[in-house]
Structure 1
Amino acid sequence: MITLENQLEGEEDMTALDFYGIDAIGLRAKEEILPGRLVVIEGTDGVGRSTQLQLLRPWLESSGYAVVDSEMTRSELAGSGLKEAKDGNTLGPITLNLFYAADFIDRFENQILPALRAGFIVLIDRYIYSLMARALVRGADSRWLRSIYGLALKPDITFYLRVELEELVPRVLQGHGFDYWESGMDMRLGNDLFESFVRYQKLMLAEYDKMAIEYHFEVIDASMAAEQIAAQLKQKIFPLLPNG
Structure 2
Amino acid sequence: MSDAGTPGAFITLEGGDGSGKTTQAALLQGWLEREGRTVVRTREPGGTPLGVEIRRLVQHTEGHIAPRAEALLYAADRAHHVATLVRPALERGEVVLQDRYLDSSVAYQGAGRELDPQQVRDLSLWAVDGLLPHLTILLDLDPAAGRARMAERADAPYDRLEETGLDFAERVRAAYLDLAAAERDRFAIVDASADPDAVHASVVSHVRAMLDARR
TM range (shorter): 0.7 to 0.9
Alpha carbons 2:16, 2:143 under 8 Å: kept: no
| Greater Rg over alpha carbons, structure | 1
Task: Tell me which amino acid in the other structure corresponds to 2:202.
Answer: Q
Which runs of no fewer than 5 residues in structure 2 stay unpaired? none
Q: Which structure has more helix as a fraction of its residues?
A: 2
- Deviation of the 1:16 alpha carbon: 6.1
Match of 2:3 in 1: 17
TM-score (norm. length: structure 2): 0.85
> Does 2:187 match 1:214?
no
> Does 2:88 match 1:114?
yes
Distance 1:239 1:227, change over 3 A: same
Distance 1:140 1:16, change over 3 A: closer
> Does 2:209 match 1:229?
no
The C-alpha deviation readout for 1:73-110, integer Å capped at 9, x for no partner, is 22333431441354233321111111111111111111
Alpha-carbon RMSD: 2.2
Alpha carbons 1:183, 1:200 under 8 Å: kept: no
Alpha carbons 2:8, 2:89 under 8 Å: kept: yes
TM-score (norm. length: structure 1): 0.76
Match of 1:38 in 2: 10
Percent of pairs with identical residues: 26
Distance 1:82 1:169, change over 3 A: closer
Q: Tell me the number of residue pairs that the alignment of Structure 1 and Structure 2 aligns.
A: 204
Task: Tell me which amino acid in the other structure corresponds to 1:227.
Answer: D
Match of 1:240 in 2: 210
SS in 2 for 1:77: helix
Alpha carbons 1:183, 1:201 under 8 Å: kept: no
Match of 1:129 in 2: 103
Match of 1:142 in 2: 117
Match of 1:157 in 2: 135
Structure 1 distance, partners of 2:136, 2:53, is 27
Match of 1:50 in 2: 22
Alpha carbons 2:138, 2:190 under 8 Å: kept: yes
The C-alpha deviation readout for 1:218-244, integer Å capped at 9, x for no partner, is 111111110111111112211332686
Structure 2 distance, partners of 1:215, 1:87, is 34
Task: Tell me which amino acid in the other structure corresponds to 1:83.
Answer: R
